[in-house]
Amino acid sequence: MTDTLTIRRPDDWHLHFRDGDIMRGVVPYTARQFARAIVMPNLTPPVTTAALAAEYRDRINEAVPQGVKFTPLMTCYLTDTTDPDDLARGFADGVFTAAKLYPANATTNSAHGVSDVAKLYPVLKQMETDGIVLCIHGEVTDHDIDVFDREAEFIERYMRSIVRDFPQLKIIFEHITTADAVKFVEQSSPNIAATITPQHLHINRNAMLVGGIQPHNYCLPVAKRELHRLALRKAATSGSPKFFLGTDSAPHLRGDKENDCGCAGIFGAPYALESYCTVFDEEDALEHFEAFASLNGPAFYGLPANEETITLDRAEVAVPEELDLAGQTIVPWHGGQTIGWRIAG
């Protein structure tokens, strides 16, 4: 039995840092584990230009604890009016690493998202030409589509045509939650990959709805049936280069989750690596953990893997029920539970 695992330092290919005091409170949790992170742009107002992204990057860098090496990788929030030239310049200048497509109103702070994917075609063409990665929140927003079917429906309505119309465009189907998405990614060209969160590997929708509403297990896309969780676990632990780590850590204060209209998002950052490692251990796939956490993401983005390493030990870790965040309370993923791996040192 493996009790210690040393892997290259991992990266988080999808997370939310927010801004201001909350951002300053959450950045150290990520920087403790990860060398780099793809930072989502859904602030209010959203990060829609290279100038806004450069300023946001500076604020994040100031929040990295002294002596810790961490690089935020910025994304451009695509809207109906995104300027392809600004995006291309921001990418050429090293400000943008990727661009993010939120269908309008799909999730937290996405009101300015894209109302009609067809309007985005000139931008997608530019991204394909320049090699800019497109990160997609893959859910339709039509009111007549059941919330549990929104990801599968997005594949049929949009993914297939985007992939067909831009065969060279690199696309990340983010935080996938269904067997349908796993199958779509597996059957697509090497230009199509997916991130998978820890929560979608650990829980199905019962964890949110059985025994009372459990708001801390609510995020978007929402957790699905057990068969989907099993498909995600198989994909993540398979060793396939198409699947990699993206926590979708999305901090919301306790009061904003436990509310008449509770926010979507799980604060996964504090024990993310330990959470993923537990899944790989349960699946008897620790030999594929480094690929998922540290190699597949950089390879997809055309970036070097990190040189430093990180070591995990088999050990019981009690995750606090809640954490202080900027003088307020937040419940972390696995809050109040014990997990089986810890980061050594």
**Residue numbers at the binding site for ligand NCD (CB under 6 A):** 16, 42, 107-109, 137, 219-220, 248, 250, 264-265
Q: Which of 11, 12, 180, 248 is catalytic?
A: 248
Nearest-Å Rg of the Cα atoms of the chain is 19
- Which of Zn ion, ligand NCD, none does residue 115 bind (CB under 5 to 8 Å by kind)? none
Comparing C-alpha atoms, which of 305, 284, 331, 180 is closest to residue 241? 305
Residue nearest to Zn ion (CB): 248
Helices marked H in the chain? 20-33, 50-63, 84-92, 121-130, 150-154, 160-165, 179-187, 198-202, 206-209, 226-236, 254-257, 272-282, 289-290, 296-301
| Closer residue to ligand NCD (CB): 127 or 250 | 250
The least distance separating ligand NCD from the CB of residue 31, rounded to whole angstroms, comes to 19
| Closer residue to Zn ion (CB): 136 or 312 | 136
| Closer residue to ligand NCD (CB): 242 or 252 | 252
The least distance separating ligand NCD from the CB of residue 167, rounded to whole angstroms, comes to 27
- Which of ligand NCD, Zn ion, none does residue 264 bind (CB under 5 to 8 Å by kind)? ligand NCD
Cα separations in angstroms, 206 against 52, 178, 223, 236, 339: 40, 15, 9, 21, 20
| Closer residue to ligand NCD (CB): 15 or 339 | 15
Cα separations in angstroms, 196 against 67, 94, 164, 212, 250: 30, 26, 23, 26, 14
- Which of ligand NCD, Zn ion, none does residue 220 bind (CB under 5 to 8 Å by kind)? ligand NCD
Helices marked H in 43-146? 50-63, 84-92, 121-130
Decide if 11 is catalytic. no
Binding site for Zn ion (CB under 5 A): 248
Catalytic residue IDs: 248
